[in-house]
Amino acid sequence: MVGHLCLYHNSDTAISKHKLRLRGKYSFEWYKKKSDKFIIDGMKAGNSFQKVKESCLVFIHMFNHRRSEKKKVSAEDHFYYLNCMLFMIKIGFYDEDDKLQCFHKKFINKTKPK
């Protein structure tokens, strides 16, 4: 494993992290493809683009609140959060530089470096 893909809330507090490799499973491209499939599946289920977007925003807000309150969240919720965040970044709602960063394993911190 190379390191972690870290997601941030309010641009500075780590809220979720996922293992990261250079190639194959757990690469950044792999996560992006999973997020694309997640959105496509949502729309195939009969949801409009706007409905998928609203659902993602609600989940992101709920997840951030639970994490800030130090409540337990499942691994599945972490992965769902990652999918929602990648979708919102892809459509330009969030800036990638503010919300995620890749770190080598030995450089993981709770706060994002300036």
Q: Give residue 11's pLDDT band: very low, low, confident or very high (50, 70, 90).
A: low
Residue whose tokens read 């994490």: 67
* 92 vs 77: CA distance, rounded Å: 22
pLDDT tens across 41-50, in order? Answer: 989 999 999 9
Structure tokens at 4: 């972690």
Question: Lowest-pLDDT range, 7-11, 36-40, 78-82?
Answer: 7-11
Is residue 106's pLDDT more than 80? no
Q: Give residue 19's pLDDT band: very low, low, confident or very high (50, 70, 90).
A: confident
Predicted model pTM:
0.79
Q: How many CB atoms are closer than 10 A to CB 90?
A: 14
Residue whose tokens read 């977007």: 53
**pLDDT (0 to 100) of residue 103:** 66
Who has greater pLDDT, 18 or 111? 18
Who has greater pLDDT, 12 or 19? 19
Distance spanning both ends of the chain, measured CA to CA: 25
